[in-house]
Each structure stands twice: as C-alpha cells, then as structure tokens.
Structure 1
Amino acid sequence: MPVNPNDPRVKRTRRLLLQSFMELVEQRKNIYSISVQDIADRATVNRATFYAHFEDKYAFLECWMREKFQRKLEETLPHASLTDMNSLRTVILTVFRFLARTRQYMVPANVEFEPLFEIAMQKELYRLLFEWLKDRSDASVPRTTVETTALVMSWGILGSAVQWSRSPQNRTAEEMAGEVLAVAAAGLAPVMA
C-alpha cells in the first residue's frame, strides 16, 4: 500500500531517514558504502519501513539531493519562487555554487551517483521554472511550449553548471551565471508575456 506523503507520520519517518543518512555521510563520507540497512538501523526503523517510503537506495538518494537543493534555493530565493530575471540570476548562481560545493565533498567512490544527483537537481529546476513560466506566459502560449521551455532551460542551466564545476578555468560562478542568464533570457522570449 503506498504511503500518503502528506501524513505527518510519513513526513516524520522520511525526515528521520534523511537525517540518519546525513549523519552517516558525515561519519563516512562515502555514500556508496552506506547500505539501506545502515540507514534503517541509524533511524531505528526496519528495512520494510524504509522500502515503504522509498523504492530503493537510488530513489532515496534522489529524494535526499532534491531536498538539499530545495533547501539551498529556499535560503537564497525570496519566497522560494521566481519572480523576475533577477531571481532567475539568483537561481542560476545558486546552481553553480551548489554544484561547486557538492563537488568539493565528493569522494571518488561517490562519482557513480553524480548523474542521479544531477537529475534530482534538474527536476527541481524544471518545477521552479515551469511554475514561473506558467504564471508569466501569455494565455495564447500553449502549455506544451511552456513545458518544453522549462525543460530546455533547466537542462541548459544545469548542464552549464556541471561543465563549469568540473573545470572552472579561472571563470567565477558569478561570471558564468551572467553569461547563462543572457542565453536564458533569449530562450525565454517566446513564452514570456
């Protein structure tokens, strides 16, 4: 039976699992070596409870990264939503800084999880961009165009940040965010009211 994500008990259990995982990461630094059993033991729940909330360790890790990224966006973005091009620049800069910081803490054994973490971030970026564009687009713009624009923009922002974080080459996050914003602004023109 699927769990109700709005149930306070479900929220508490998920929070407990995520917190337990963070404690294990701080101890070991190696995500790969942390098992579902380790997380369940630390959270003082059984494996069945873990699997009632998450399909597997990968679904758990995606949720963990998405929540970390959401919290970072909430810290840097007023009202945790986009309102204008300045807030879009803040989001872009946050992505660049978040990836750079995350990369500092990655150990070689964790590299296999990078694509999973990037997808989690892209989903959150897509959600944020889609909500903004849906509210700002002209009524004559088809929903599919808004969805496609949010999809392309989310992958474009994330892809630029991933590439830069792997090899900054004397370009600051601020410089890159400005360049990506210029390209993004042009890409948003067809849907912006």
Structure 2
Amino acid sequence: MKIIGKITDLRVARTQKLLTMALLTLLCEQGQLFSNITVNEICDKAMVHRTTFYKHFEDKFALLSSTLTSLLQDYLQMNVEDRLRQPMQSIATILSGNVLERMVQNQKKDEGFKHFFRKYIEEIFKQDFMELKNRGKQFSLPVELAVEFHSGVISLLVNWWIHHFEENITAEQMDEYYYLLVNEKILLK
C-alpha cells in the first residue's frame, strides 16, 4: 500500500515538474508574455493533458504561484529580519544568474504579470510581518498598512531596477534607495 502511495506521489511530482518547466520555458521566451500564455500552451509544452493540468492547478495563476514559491525557496528560508533589513540584497541573491532573473526581465512589460508578482510579494511580506508580530515585535502602525506599503515600495523598486538593469546599479544601492523611501524605524525599532 505504501509503495502505491509513493508511485502516486512520484507521478504527481513529475506532472507538476513538467508543468512548472513548461511555464518557465514559455515565460523566458523572448516576447512571450504571461498574460497571453494559455493553459493549452502550457499543456502542449509539458506534453500533459489539459484535464491533468486542472487536477493539479486551478488555473495558470496557481501554477505561477507554485513556480515562484519553488524558485524562491532559498529566499523564503532566509532569516525574516535579514530579508526585511536588506530587501534588495536579499532579492538579488536569488535573482542573480537565476532563471527567475530571465523570467522577470522578459515579463517586465506585462502588466498582468507585474500585478500578480506584486500581490505575491505582498503575501510574503504579510507572512514576514506576522511572524515578527508573533515574536513580540511592536509596530507603530497597523501591520496590514505596513505590509501593503512595504510590498508596494519593494515591488516598485524591483520593477524600476529591472527597467534600469543596463545601468549596473548594485543591490546595496537599491537598499539605500529603499531606506530613503521608507521610515526605517518601522522595521528596526
């Protein structure tokens, strides 16, 4: 019985990996925007039937969320306080030379992708701030407001950085810009 469970788990993992790799391939193709990618295209690229796709994911946004979570594993395992103190340097460590960097570069003109990515980042910040709150950290304003504000600033900075990639701006410089834009007492109090 356990062996069958493992076989099933391997099949599920294989299917999800095929779908993830197909989406990544499509997202990294020059001129291919997430908003224009269809579930059928993903399934064709993965050689997976459309009904199988829907057994694993509600839609292409659920697949994108799962894909981002997979790509951001190292970032998500970093110390929460370090991520929040040096947000751009933390992001840079996982972006540099990664498929995520190519994907984000290629999707920089897709408003739908940028909106989704911002909401995704916002959810990470929400979890980070709630973890700090659970550890006893006191905030001088409502946590939800801090989350929305900081995720918006980070999203703005990431998008700006992507659009100015050729200027070789360092992650340290981007963190300086971050602290010029926000009240660092909110995080470092």
Shorter chain as denominator, the TM-score bin is 0.5 to 0.7
Q: CA–CA distance in 2 between the matches of 1:157 and 1:107?
A: 15
Residue of structure 1 equivalent to 2:172? 174
Taking a change above 3 Å as real, the CA distance of residues 87 and 59 of structure 1, as seen in their structure-2 partners, is closer
Gaps of 5+ in 1: 1-6
Which residue of the partner structure matches residue 68 of structure 2?
65
CA distance, structure 2, for counterparts of residue 42 and residue 163 of structure 1:
31
Give the 3 Å change call, closer, same or farther, for CA 112–178 of structure 1 in structure 2: same
Q: Counterpart in 1 of 2:4?
A: none
**Contact kept? 2:126, 2:147, Cα under 8 Å:** yes
**What is residue 3 of structure 2 aligned with on the other side?**
none
Q: Distance in 2 between matches of 1:12 and 1:151?
A: 36
In structure 2, stretches of 5+ residues that fail to align are 1-7
Partner of 1:21: 23
Q: Normalized against structure 2, the TM-score is what?
A: 0.65
Structure 1 pair 132–163 and aligned structure 2 pair: CA distance change class (3 A) = same
When the two structures are aligned, how many residues end up with a matched partner? 173
- Give the distance between the partners of 2:23 and 2:15, measured in 1 at CA: 12
Alpha-carbon distance between aligned partners in 2 of 1:100 and 1:65, rounded to the nearest angstrom? 12
Superposition deviation, residue 47 in structure 1: 0.8
Taking structure 1 as the reference length, the TM-score comes to 0.64
> Counterpart of 1:14 in structure 2: which amino acid?
Q
* Alpha-carbon separation, structure 2, partners of 1:101 and 1:20: 15
Q: 1:26 to 1:113 in 2, by over 3 A?
A: closer
Give the fraction of aligned pairs with identical amino acids, expressed as a percent.
Answer: 25
Match 2:85 to one of 89, 113, 122 = 89
Q: 1:27 to 1:149 in 2, by over 3 A?
A: closer
Separation of aligned partners in 2, 1:89 and 1:188: 7
Structure-2 change in CA distance of 1:45 and 1:102 (3 Å): closer
Aligned to 1:106: 107
Q: Give, in whole Å, the separation in 2 of the partners of 1:94 and 1:177.
A: 10
Q: CA deviation at 1:18?
A: 0.6
- 1:111-164 Cα deviation digits (max 9, x unpaired): 5422222222322233233323432415xx79x934443333222322333344
CA distance 1:111–1:153, change in 2 (3 Å): closer
Aligned to 2:67, what secondary structure does the other structure show? helix
C-alpha RMSD of matched pairs (Å)? 3.8
CA deviation after TM superposition for structure 1 residue 30, in Å = 1.0
Are the structure 2 counterparts of residues 102 and 34 from structure 1 closer, same or farther at C-alpha, using a change threshold of 3 Å? Answer: closer
Amino acid at match of 2:78: A
